[in-house]
Amino acid sequence: GTPPQAAQSTPSPAPSVDTSGFQQNMCISNVFRMNSVCQTPFGYYLQSEGIVYALDPQTKRMAPVCSRPECRHGDEHCNGWINSLFLSYYNGMVYYANSDSEDCWHLYAMQPDGTGHRKIQSIQFEATGMIHSYQPMLYNGTVYFIDSGALYSVALGADIHTAVRLLAEDSTGKLESSWKFWADDSAAYAMNHVLRADGVYQDVLYQLGTDEAGTKELWRSSQTQVPQQRDSCSSWYISHGQLYYYASGNDVWRIDLNSGQAHQLIGLTGVLESGTAVFSQSAIAVLNDTPDPQWGPQSGYRSGGDTLRIYDYTGVLRREISLSAIYQAYPDVAHCTMVFADDSSVYLLAYRGMEHSPSSVFYQISQDSGALNEIAGWIGSALNPHTPDWQEEEGVR
């Protein structure tokens, strides 16, 4: 494929793009953030309102991945329409998951210019009509997916009936449960985020084998790492056999997955009452947002966020960045949420009017200078937060 029109000015020097299908700092599977991002040689690809956009980090501009001049880029007829749970770049193709045509999730691929969409395989055994909330993972030619409370792997392009079950979830004593896949070196992982019947949040990490017998529990958050977890938010990252773990309102821990030894990397107790983190290969970014006061600490909804702290992997604070200029420019901002980070920038959404408002401003924030740059072409910037679409959809007059 040829580069999309949105990103013809390829950054120089060309970025080193991970083509394994799984990019660690792009793995932001979280329904409370933008949930689909991947890096390609033509910039970052991200989804908004069902359409995939290309973001050029050098020009700080983004545009739909669609070359049809007559297209309004607003519905399923657009070349950039994916309406997907995830985005993945593998062997020169962009992969996504979609269930538009039937109540069953399928994996699709397209050229980087938005053409040549084709169905690859099913990643759900039977159509259920239920919302499938877990992001699959494509890694080195293997697809990992979740269906009916079990985790599976299947070769890319293979019939789903050749899939191998890796883990069947035991829901005993769980009030809530969600899953997130991960890959590091040659290993595949899955983290289970649980609200237990006793009201305690817990994360349980599994290393996935080639079958159920080979899958094993590696780690679970203890009361040391999550003392009386007040809200549901935890952020984590695995690199070279080390788990970096931040539970909101606590410290950042480093856990060696071979020995199980835990080390407090960044002491935040007494520094931050609450927060979220995103990770890149070189930095840990922590934002001081808090649970939404209206919805409560177990909702996953967040509010505020006015200070960004950038740490390195030795635990040293490299820079503290004030986001006050965002609130001065847009006094109606309700929440700032980090989307992802690379080795030079943090990308952040500022929601206007209310959490998850269609009206939002997209920022690229320099880790070195702290400069805040608005991304041009972000669709949320054109929407007025004071007459949002959600009012009409929900019958609010």
Task: Determine the Cα–Cα distance for residues 238 and 243; give it in Å rounded to an integer.
Answer: 4
Which tens digit of pLDDT belongs to each residue from 178-189? 899 999 999 999
* Residue 151 Cα distances to 143, 148, 166, 186, 226, angstroms: 11, 9, 5, 18, 26
Give the tens place of pLDDT for each residue, 264-279: 999 987 777 778 899 9
Highest mean pLDDT among 237-241, 348-352, 382-386: 237-241
Task: Dig out the tokens for 114 from the structure.
Answer: 């938005």
Quote the pLDDT of residue 295.
Answer: 55
Give the per-residue pLDDT at 300. 59
Dist. CA 265–CA 277, nearest whole Å: 14
For the stretch 292-315, pLDDT in tens is 656 555 555 665 689 999 999 999
pLDDT band, residue 21 (cuts 50/70/90): confident
Element (H, E) at 324: helix 324-329
DSSP 8-state class, residue 21: S
The mean pLDDT of the chain is 85
Question: Residue 358 pLDDT > 90, yes or no?
Answer: no
Give the per-residue pLDDT at 76.
86
* The length of the chain, given as a count of residues: 397
362 touches 393 (CB < 8 A): no
What is the spatial distance between Cα 82 and Cα 324, in angstroms, rounded to a whole number?
A: 35
Cβ partners under 8 Å of residue 393, min gap 6: none
Mean pLDDT of 81-92: 91
pLDDT exceeds cutoff 80 at 95:
yes
Q: String of b and e for 36-61 (b: at least 16 CB within 10 Å)?
A: bbbbbbbbbbbbbebbbbbbbbebbb
Sign of the CA dihedral running 239, 241, 242, 244: positive
Quote the percentage of the chain above a pLDDT of 70. 82
Cis before 358? omega within 30: no
Q: pLDDT value at position 65?
A: 94
Predicted confidence (pLDDT) at residue 9 exceeds the cutoff of 60: no
pLDDT tens, 252-262?
Answer: 999 999 999 99
Q: What is the mean pLDDT of residues 365-391?
A: 81
